[in-house]
Chain A
Amino acid sequence: MARRVLITGLGTFWGGRVAQALEADPDVEVIIGLDTAEPQIRLERTEYVRSDENYSILSRIVQATAVDTIVHTFLVVDSTQMSSRAMHEINVIGTMNLFAAASAAGSTVRNVVVKSSALVYGSSPKDPYWFREDGRRADLPHSRVERSLLEVEGYVRDFATDNPHVCLSLLRFSNVLGPDIVTPLSQALQLPLVPKVAGYDPRFQFVHEDDVIGSLLFVLEQQVPGIFNVAGDGQIPWSEVAAIVGKRTIPMPPIGIGLATGPLRRMGLVDLAPELIALLKYGRGVDNRRLKRAGFDYQHTSAGAVDAFAEALRLRRMVGDHDPKYHYQEDVERWFRHSPSVLREVDRRR
């Protein structure tokens, strides 16, 4: 069955990679990528549409292209990237417009995948050590990214209730590590001394970036509705994470931590957001067995993800960035996609 897929956040790490993987799938007929920024990786047949961050043109796109699948990977989970206002526009308003378009009369959308984060569970001493999908967070959200993601999930829930004919999968990812992705945690682990909060050595859970892509493709393929945690097996203490990467830790005072992290941020080394400091104190674990029971096989454990990151780090230290950087050039890409002189897969087979 040929599918027509719309990906939000094509310029993000995840959107681009999901598009790349879908391009290889002959069942996927059309891939449309929406973003405010240009794609970061080479794409063959995905069509890139530039939009404003809250997707006001979305209902027109959905109608005109008759997409049946939406992959929502545009959600911002790293609050250090932008202002609170911009994050609100992207996460909350963007999702609102997305679901408004998807639930409009005559909408052809039958499958929606949302990439959320385990941040919605928060991190506090009261937490269970393994959050299940139906578990409630123990405290009120006190960081803006957590609040915004909870609002997003509210829209997701409303959409799912109002549109029972749509297969909706909501994935909550734990901290991602891997060879390529850059997150505040990966930046912290690249410092000569890895910051920790004195007196705390919380258990961390990681998911390898390939498992993130794998799980997104899995739910797209299998169409399993519901909420799923995505995280590697096992939890490891922060000190051991640093040890696997081969670093020593430097304690920061448990009280007045803002004074310690302020200079780190100003020097552009690492920006430890409040939700990350809570994580460095109390940790967080999510139960990944629901997705496993649905049939997904993880390729990496938590420690395996850290190890893969450490290996990539060692290589990069020796040879620098070995992949040539890709720059999106609009006219070239358009020519490739639409010129009659370009022989496409279909023509070649003929």
Chain B
Amino acid sequence: MPPGDRANEKATAPRVATAALVPVQLPPMSKEPEPLDDPRRGDVDEWGRSERMREVARRVYAPLYERWFRVEWEGLEKIPTDGGALIIANHAGAVPSDAPAIMHGIETELGRPVYGLADQFFKGAPFIGTMWARNGGVVAHPDNAYRLLREQNQLVLVFPEGSKGTGKTYNERYRLRRFGRGGFVEIAMRAGVPIVPIAVIGAEESMPILFKVPALAKALGIPYFPITANMLALGPLGAAVYFPAKFKLRVLDPVTFPDVDPDQPRYSRSRIMDESEAIRQRIQEQLYDMLRHRRSVWFG
């Protein structure tokens, strides 16, 4: 067929209707394909977490958990044993001591992994970033949280206060900061998982910040540069050694959103802020209640 005819035929042929480059909705995968050969050597998962590394870390951390902080849980049974859940807690200590305690406690008691969402600062830092990732640290990106919670049904730990919580000085202890912009509520709604709040006491006293040096923080590119009581008492060793404050953790009743559908493109901002504030209030009240009953910082 000469090219000319072909061109005419093309021009009269029905045109393929295509949306430009806007992602089209495609049908879900109809069949599960055969699993491919996957010659892996290590056990580092797609988030960078290694169960073997966690095993070692848990063994190293256990004496600290049991003898030093003498961690005591209340209401651990409220944490779901299966399905995704977003665990949130108040955040404290210059180098936060609450995150490892919560992750260790849940992993040993419930036997399921916990992924801790944190600022991208950790991923960017050499050595620390790799250790952090191998131990279950994941960059706090909404897509990451959604995939973990909705698609992989994992437990995810996040501190909504972020570095505002750990960066507060000792005179402001146990006073919760703003819970970000309520992003954790939005993620839980989108993923259709419950939020499990935890109130933690003890972490504030394990490494209290006396004052901060903003110039140094800026020069080093870190969120804050603290001068802690530990540093004054122990010198440079104080950057790594916690005071043996007694840790108490209280798991509060999970918050669910039965009236909200998951996978919506947008959620009501006012609803998100209301829920976020309500959860913050509950944790704050529980903290006051726990402090009311605490006789000693060191012995509980």
A residues touching B (Cβ–Cβ < 8 Å)?
2, 4, 64-66, 68, 106, 108, 110, 124-130, 132-135, 156-157, 160-161, 164-168, 170, 197-201, 203, 223, 225-227, 233-237, 239-240, 243-244, 254, 282, 285, 289-290, 292-294, 297-301, 303-304, 306-307
Interface string of B13-29 (1 = CB under 8 A from A): 00111111111101111
- Given A125-B120, A156-B21, are A165 and B37 also a contact pair (CB < 8 Å)? no
B284 within 8 A of A: no
- Counting from the closest, the 5 A-B pairs by CB-CB distance are A199-B126, A125-B124, A128-B143, A225-B18, A199-B127
- Tell me what chain A mostly uses at the interface: helix, strand, loop, or mixed: loop
- Rounded to whole angstroms, the CA-CA distance of A306 and B39 in the bound complex is 9
- Rounded to whole angstroms, the CA-CA distance of A306 and B247 in the bound complex is 46
The answer to whether B21 and A170 have CB atoms under 8 Å apart is yes
B-side contacts of A297, CB under 8 Å: 33
Known: A66-B7, A166-B18, A239-B42. 8 other contacts (CB 8 A): A130-B144, A200-B129, A226-B21, A234-B40, A301-B38, A304-B37, A304-B38, A306-B39
B285: min CB distance to chain A, Å: 35
The answer to whether B23 and A304 have CB atoms under 8 Å apart is no
- Rounded to whole angstroms, the CA-CA distance of A150 and B152 in the bound complex is 32
A219: min CB distance to chain B, Å: 12
The answer to whether A301 and B36 have CB atoms under 8 Å apart is yes
- Rounded to whole angstroms, the CA-CA distance of A164 and B16 in the bound complex is 8
The contact sample of 26 A-B pairs, CB cut-off 8 A, is A126-B139, A127-B139, A129-B144, A133-B23, A161-B20, A161-B21, A164-B18, A164-B19, A197-B126, A199-B128, A200-B126, A203-B48, A225-B24, A226-B21, A234-B40, A236-B44, A237-B44, A239-B42, A240-B40, A243-B41, A282-B123, A282-B124, A292-B29, A293-B29, A294-B26, A303-B40
- Which of A134, A168, A292 sits near B23, CB closer than 8 Å? A134
- Given A226-B23, A235-B46, are A65 and B36 also a contact pair (CB < 8 Å)? no
A-B contact count (CB 8 A): 157
B-side contacts of A135, CB under 8 Å: 143
A97: min CB distance to chain B, Å: 20
A126: min CB distance to chain B, Å: 5
B130 within 8 A of A: yes
- Given A225-B24, A226-B24, are A4 and B126 also a contact pair (CB < 8 Å)? no
- Given A200-B130, A225-B24, A226-B24, are A125 and B44 also a contact pair (CB < 8 Å)? no
- Rounded to whole angstroms, the CA-CA distance of A307 and B121 in the bound complex is 33
- Given A4-B6, A128-B144, A200-B126, are A227 and B26 also a contact pair (CB < 8 Å)? no
- Which of B7, B36, B47 sits near A300, CB closer than 8 Å? B36
- Given A165-B16, A226-B21, are A130 and B38 also a contact pair (CB < 8 Å)? no
The answer to whether A285 and B10 have CB atoms under 8 Å apart is no
The answer to whether B7 and A108 have CB atoms under 8 Å apart is yes
A215: min CB distance to chain B, Å: 14
The answer to whether A168 and B26 have CB atoms under 8 Å apart is no
B181 within 8 A of A: no
B-side contacts of A289, CB under 8 Å: 29
- Given A66-B6, A110-B10, A233-B38, are A129 and B46 also a contact pair (CB < 8 Å)? yes
A-side contacts of B147, CB under 8 Å: 129-130
B112 within 8 A of A: no
* Listed residue (A65, A198, A303, A306) with the most chain B CB atoms within 10 angstroms of its CB: A303
